[in-house]
Structure 1
Amino acid sequence: MNAITINLPNDLIEKVRSIALARNIDVDTLVSQVMTEAVRQNEAYDRFQEMAERGRGREEEALALLRR
């Protein structure tokens, strides 16, 4: 695993520490979980954008399928 350094405002750091403590996990684990979820959401967004692009101009065809 690689380490990175990020600069965050003090109030945000305290909130992250508080959340990690409430979940009984360390800050590294919490940040890893949050970043993993952010990557998943971005990948899903990209997939939906690609699907939308492939369907662009085929709206009538899609509506006809829904009417069946």
Structure 2
Amino acid sequence: MRLSELKKGEKGIILRVHGHSLLRKRLSELGFVSGKTIETIRFAPLGDPVVYKILDSEISIRLATASLIEITLP
């Protein structure tokens, strides 16, 4: 399952981050690492970007980027 598939209020556990190395590095610096729990907080009015809660921080990323993050449901 991909992070972009989560509905508002749902949680998931990150399994893997796909994409080129610079993007993976930047996401890992923001806390998107394997084993961390992530929750969808809210969507922008037009549906993109999306705000996610991870490591007590709220981070907004685009759906295209969220589709590169593989998750599983807890």
Does TM-score exceed 0.5, indicating one fold?
Answer: no
Say which structure, 1 or 2, has more relative contact order (CA 8 Å, 6+ apart): 2
Q: Between Structure 1 and Structure 2, whose CA radius of gyration is higher?
A: 1
More helix by share: 1
